[in-house]
Amino acid sequence: MKNCSHLLVISFLMLSLTSCIIVDKDNWHDKDEQWQHKQEKNKNQINQLEINDDRNSVILQLGAPEFSEAFSKNKNSYRILYYRTQHKHSDGETSKDETTPLVFKNDKLIGWGQQAVNAIP
């Protein structure tokens, strides 16, 4: 009788544990929409930027960048912020070729896009 009750309890626990696994297909869809929405928002915000915008105000508008680089050259400080604006790879990661770079010189926006990066003296 004791073995039977142990077996019953173990069976109950096993069934309880297996029923805890839930696959939520909708959550994957939501994540897909989230990056698409963020990407579209970033494109719209970048289209409204003006040369000489302050770096802090740009970050307030766009949020944290996907990537960031900084360096000094000829007594000037440069910072490049990369924001996701285009989908190229379905790998779940954002790569630099899926972003638009924003180039700041001494915390002022001097341009965006790869041409702006290439124009840094």
CATH number at residue 58: 3.30.1450.10
Alpha-carbon distance of 78 to 69, in angstroms, equals: 8
* pTM of structure: 0.70
Tens digit of pLDDT for each residue in 40-84?
999 999 999 999 999 999 999 999 999 999 999 999 999 999 999
Strand order, beta sheet including 76-84? 67-73, 76-84, 99-105, 108-112
Q: Is 88 a member of any domain?
A: yes
Host H or E run for residue 78: strand 76-84
Q: Which helix (H) or strand (E) holds 97?
A: none
The 10s digit of each residue's pLDDT in 98-109 is 999 999 999 999
Total of domains in the chain: 1
User: What is the domain range of residue 72?
Assistant: 35-118
Distance CA 36, CA 32 (A): 6
Q: What is the pLDDT of residue 94?
A: 81
Q: How many CB atoms lie within 10 A of CB 8?
A: 10
With respect to residue 15, please indicate whether it lies within any of the assigned structural domains. no
